[in-house]
Structure 1
Amino acid sequence: MSRPQRVLDPEIDEAARAVFLAQGPSAPLQDIAKRLGISQAALLHRVGTKEALMLRALRPMPPTALALLEPGPRPDTSVEDQLLEALLHHRDFLRQLVPWLFVLHYSELGGARALRAKTPPPVALREGLTVWLTRAKRSRRVELAAPKVVAEALCGALEARCFNAHVGGATYAPGEDAAVLRQLIRALIVPSEPPARARKQPKPRTAR
């Protein structure tokens, strides 16, 4: 008879995440162990405590949109389109993150203890976006007085939409995300040059 294959750490985290999100912080460890096909004792031997498992399964990771922002503004794409791309990427990250935060907040860990980090995800994204906007301003791609304030406005609006949508569904965050974010970008940021499609083309010379 072959020995059962060892359960990997990512598999434990994924199973715990699914159970905690479905049942809340009071979910029994037995349900997680059953999902993994191991005993509760074996699960505890691997993770230590239920709180430790919850923390490692649900603790927020750094925002993945930072990888898009780190190289700075690309010269071949409008600032508006690049910002929209990064914000929609961050929206997908937040849609995953917000339910995790709810579970952690209502657990015995408490939100503050569970979310303690060197740089919390919301702060990290604001800092990365501020740097990106500052570089766009210095390269004269956009006109804006305070990159940090614009970053706060964009991130705050996006976080509010994701939180409201999680609490009350689409009726709490009306409108299509991309359309709302694009209008917000246009309200906050003035491009130094008009989009290529909007520039007037020289009139062809007529033969005399």
Structure 2
Amino acid sequence: MGRRQEVSNERILEVARRCFLLRGAGVSAVEIAGELGVSHTTIFNRFGSKEALMIAALGVPDQIEWASVLEKGPDNRPVFEQLVQHGKVVAAYFQNLQAGLAVLHAAGIPNDKIFPDQTADSAPAKAFMALVAWLRVAQSQGRIGKCDVETLASTILGALYNWAQTASVCGHSTTRDDSESHVERFIELLWNGIGVE
């Protein structure tokens, strides 16, 4: 019998996520392993349980990519334009996260297992602080009005997350164009209160 191929954790998570999103929480590790060309034992050896695999594939990632972009600070373009651009990326992230969370909740996995790390070192906390720092720099440059930047960051992230939640619950269109249009309207509304450029 030939040796089974090696497969990365990232590849396992990618295939598992696709399977869970397409077919729901009932997808077995055997089915996922079959698509990967490995044994289901390989998956359990890497992740320990189906629940742990689901959380790793569908929950909050260890690193939130858009946070590292924000850490670079505002560039020379108008802040309004940058907020729209960042908002579109964050909105897409939240839509993807919401899809995964819906499957996890449907499987009966409680939030304390989905979000076990609620410290300042967690990926969501770091992403929040990256946005706060970005806004603080823009404010120190006189490019946004005087306001509490932590409240502003909470408002931005909360509104974008709630759009993903509302769209899925209320049946709003979640196409890329519709989501981006929502972000543009939201930032324009927000800009009425914070804009100076």
TM-score by length of 2: 0.81
Distance change in 2, residues 1:81/1:3 (3 Å): same
Runs of at least 5 residues in structure 2 that lack an aligned partner in the other structure? none
- Decide which structure has the larger Cα Rg and report it: 1
Q: For the residues of structure 1 that align with 2:105 and 2:21, how far apart are their CA atoms?
A: 12
| Aligned partners of 2:70 and 2:130 also within 8 Å | yes
Compute the RMSD of aligned alpha carbons. 2.6
Equivalent position of 2:141 in the other structure? 139
| Cα drift, residue 158 of structure 1 | 1.0
Distance change in 2, residues 1:122/1:45 (3 Å): closer
| Cα drift, residue 77 of structure 1 | 0.8
Q: For the residues of structure 2 that align with 1:2 and 1:165, how far apart are their CA atoms?
A: 48
Matching residue within 188, 191, 195 for 1:190: 195
| Aligned partners of 1:65 and 1:87 also within 8 Å | no
- Number of residue-to-residue matches in the alignment: 191
| Cα drift, residue 57 of structure 1 | 1.8
Q: How does 1:18-97 map to 2 (within 5 A)?
A: 18-61=18-61, 62-74=63-75, 76-97=76-97
| Cα drift, residue 159 of structure 1 | 1.0
Q: For the residues of structure 1 that align with 2:135 and 2:46, how far apart are their CA atoms?
A: 44
| Cα drift, residue 46 of structure 1 | 4.2
Equivalent position of 1:15 in the other structure? 15
Deviation >6 Å, runs of 4+: 172-175
| Cα drift, residue 26 of structure 1 | 2.9
Distance change in 2, residues 1:83/1:3 (3 Å): same
TM-score by length of 1: 0.78
| Greater helix share, structure number | 2
Matched letter for residue 186 of structure 1: W
Q: For the residues of structure 2 that align with 1:46 and 1:113, how far apart are their CA atoms?
A: 18
| Cα drift, residue 60 of structure 1 | 0.9
Q: For the residues of structure 1 that align with 2:174 and 2:30, how far apart are their CA atoms?
A: 36
Q: How does 1:107-186 map to 2 (within 5 A)?
A: 107-117=107-117, 118-119=119-120, 120-170=122-172, 176-186=181-191
Runs of at least 5 residues in structure 1 that lack an aligned partner in the other structure? 195-208
Q: For the residues of structure 2 that align with 1:53 and 1:171, how far apart are their CA atoms?
A: 29
